[in-house]
Amino acid sequence: MKLNFFTISAILILLLNQIFAYEPSIEERSTISGFVFDEITMENLVGATVFLAGTRFGTLTNKNGFFSLSNIPSGKYQIVVSFVGYVKYQDSINLEPKKVLRRNIYLKPDAVRTNVINIEAEREIEKREITISKVNIPVQQISKIRIGGESDLFRSLQYLPGILTSSQISSGLFVRGGSPDENLVLLDNMTVYNPSHLFGFISTFNTEAIKDVELIKGGFPAEYGGRISSVLNVTQKEGNRDRVKGGAGLGLISSKAMLEGPLFNGSWFISGRRTYIDILKNFFPKDPKAPLPDYWFYDVNAKLTQEFGLNNKLYLGGFLAQDLLGYEGFGIDFEVSIKNQAVYTRWINILFDNIFVSTSLSYNFYKNEFIGKASEYSFKIENSIQDINFKTSADWFISNALTLKFGYELSKYRFSFIQNLAGVETDTANKSGVTPAGIMNITVDDWNHSLFFQNNLNLTELLSLQTGLRFNYWTLSNKFSLDPRIALRYRINEKISSKAAFGIYHQNIRLASQPDFTFFDTWLPTDSSVPPIRAYHYIFSFETEPFDGYDLNFDIYYKTMKNITEFNTTIVTGNKSADVFYVGNGRAFGAEIFLQKKYGRFVGWLGYALGYVFARYDSINYGKEFRPKYDRRHDLKIVAQYLLSESWDFSATFVFQSGQSYTGATSMFLSRLPEQTGGRGKIIPSQRYGLRLPPSHQLNISISYSFKTFKLPSKLILDIFNVYSRRDIWFRYYNTNKDLPQIEDVKLLPIIPTLSYEIKF
């Protein structure tokens, strides 16, 4: 591994920080810690503000609703806790010398008081916790962004600046020049490999099951590894500990249901969703000339929580998802199947009231299969990945100025890829001792060991430092990496601050997919034939509050990417990663502006991003640098939501983007056999993705009306997708069936109004 100036500097800063960060203990100081709950449901509240009035002691509750304030001088204080949509909590406490006070706090919901927050306390807390390029969207706002009547997490994230998609009907996220497989997606600390249903229109995360969403678009700390672009951390609901509750929704595309309730000293939660396009198909007359495909998907999320005393909590959870697409007609018969099965257990333990320990074990199985037959020709492509993962980490709240976090992670992978284009049974081919052309059968195991350390330190009242170091080792490739991370925050005044971050990131697994539309993606490991992907992040951020309740962020970033890969579409046989991928380098840079209002009757955001993405491969585009297909120079996003009354709620989203890149043509020639009179046209491509489609823009509107059905809370939702019916271009191709080739555009969906009904009980 090469160590450049930035790597050496970061390591030195880390070591110096560890030496000088030690703060001697003061015998007369105290600690207060505990959890923050919803008083009615007993659900833990993530991100609640906890502080001591008139002091600089404060924090935010973590992903489990836990807080700890340490090294506090003994005496009497006023503790204040606030969270959006809840009545602010205040109480007097007495901290005795050398004592630990345990206090669980219960907040009363109050939907009317959505503006009740303590901005001053949040500023004090933020100067101790460096969160660069991080976005938190309240789940209430995510649930109001609907596409085809469905609220969807990934579709909501696409309305953030710097996050691009391959099209308006795709939920794949391209973050600051990175591809979707470069995003670390976590569900309750468990890695998810296929977060989208078939075609990518809807993600596998049901918003009914989500409690908290955190997105870090770059510069993420050392506790996260294995991906080079971003981190999406999703926390599932735990369930109502007071009584059994439920809800259901009926839409034109799919229906969903949710149940939750108490169980012993804890709770349970389960939600499910299924489409019924395959059922509706039976009500339409069959047309042999235009047969309809079979398609359905479902997903199920579940979570069980139990407490054992004050300091121990156990979680059991998981999710199931499956898609099936089948088509038969015109001599073609194929079926595409996608499965995702995951289960986890997690144990939370609080030591000494200022050390928070999390230990988890998870199993994840992802498989997709594409089988079919055309005339006498049959084929099969199958890919699967099994991941058994163990994680343990500890947060040590040493004082109000110093927090340490360290942990270890172990993953055991099994990758399988089968490609049979030869029309013979794979077992028969293997027994013959000779691998025919068109057959690939790769099964490999890999182990990954990771160890990380990081801390947050207040150097002065105005300057904060976050450093981290992550070690990675992969057994298959016998590769070792060292990833330093560093971030600085300087508080200019009460409302203005600046941040800077640098980090090195490595990724060992990668996704092989077609550059154009595809519904079959393949996960493969990094073996000794290709090096791991490596990225360098450089980020500068400027944050301010121009008006009360509004946050304004400016981000400038530069990212270099080494050993990135692109799928070799000409390969028909092989047994190692180098046979499947082209290896190259890339770079991405740009600027983002993000204005957000989180609280009140009127909420939403406005974001603009200017971005540049470039890649270069020796075997692509004659070795010259080119911009990838998903590069969009300008990206404008607007989200507005307005609560008119207790009955009426309005939401609108608007997007304007530069058109996608596509590959043009320079000429055409005919390819034919000697006895043929006609032939088949063959296009000679021009510079790879050297041309750009027209700009893309779209307006969506959602109107919600709340009422009672047999005294049960109900909601009727009208969603209008693509209000002014602008059919943007999905992709462009050259039709060579005529004497002169013609440019043909495949367009996206027109205006689609949908009506859905939801009820809770």
Q: How far apart are CA 372 and CA 71, in angstroms?
A: 66
What pLDDT does residue 581 have?
Answer: 82
Q: 41 or 392: which carries more pLDDT confidence?
A: 392
Average pLDDT of span 28-34: 85
Q: Which of 310, 341, 304 is nearest to 323 (CA)?
A: 341
Average pLDDT of span 1-28: 51
What pLDDT does residue 50 have?
Answer: 93
Handedness of CA 421, 427, 429, 433 (dihedral sign): positive
Average pLDDT of span 133-146: 82
Average pLDDT of span 476-503: 92
pTM value surpassing 0.85: yes
What pLDDT does residue 461 have?
Answer: 83
The H or E element containing residue 216 is strand 210-216
Q: Please give the C-alpha separations between residue 462 and each of 129, 337, 421, 433, 715, in angstroms, as whole numbers.
A: 12, 55, 63, 70, 48
| Identity of the amino acid at 729 | I
What pLDDT does residue 199 have?
Answer: 61
| Whether the predicted pLDDT of 427 surpasses 70 | no
State the pLDDT confidence band at 203, using cuts at 50, 70 and 90: confident
Tokens 């500068």 correspond to 540
Tokens 């003061």 correspond to 26
Handedness of CA 527, 586, 579, 662 (dihedral sign): positive
Q: How far apart are CA 635 and CA 177, in angstroms?
A: 13
Average pLDDT of span 405-425: 84
How far is Cα of residue 179 from the mean position of the Cα atoms in its chain? 12
What pLDDT does residue 382 have?
Answer: 87
| Identity of the amino acid at 15 | L
Task: Specify the range with the lowest mean pLDDT, choosing from 144-153, 429-438, 700-709.
Answer: 429-438
Tokens 């309740």 correspond to 549
Q: How far apart are CA 552 and CA 639, in angstroms?
A: 15
How far is Cα of residue 659 from the mean position of the Cα atoms in its chain? 24
| Whether the predicted pLDDT of 386 surpasses 80 | yes
State the pLDDT confidence band at 290, using cuts at 50, 70 and 90: low
Of the spans 69-78, 179-188, 388-397, 719-728, which averages the highest pLDDT? 388-397
Of the spans 439-443, 595-599, 739-743, which averages the highest pLDDT? 595-599
DSSP single-letter state for residue 298: E
What pLDDT does residue 533 have?
Answer: 93
Spell out the residues 6+ positions from residue 318 whose beta carbon is closer than 8 angstroms to its own.
301, 302, 341, 342, 343, 344
What pLDDT does residue 170 have?
Answer: 66
User: What's the token pair of residue 620?
Assistant: 């692509």
What pLDDT does residue 37 have?
Answer: 92
Q: How far apart are CA 130 and CA 127, in angstroms?
A: 7
What pLDDT does residue 70 have?
Answer: 87
State the pLDDT confidence band at 8, using cuts at 50, 70 and 90: low
| Whether the predicted pLDDT of 254 surpasses 50 | yes
Domains, the chain: 5-125 (2.60.40.1120), 134-231 (2.170.130.10), 232-760 (2.40.170.20)
| Whether the predicted pLDDT of 62 surpasses 70 | yes
What pLDDT does residue 452 have?
Answer: 97
Average pLDDT over all residues of the chain:
84
Average pLDDT of span 397-423: 87
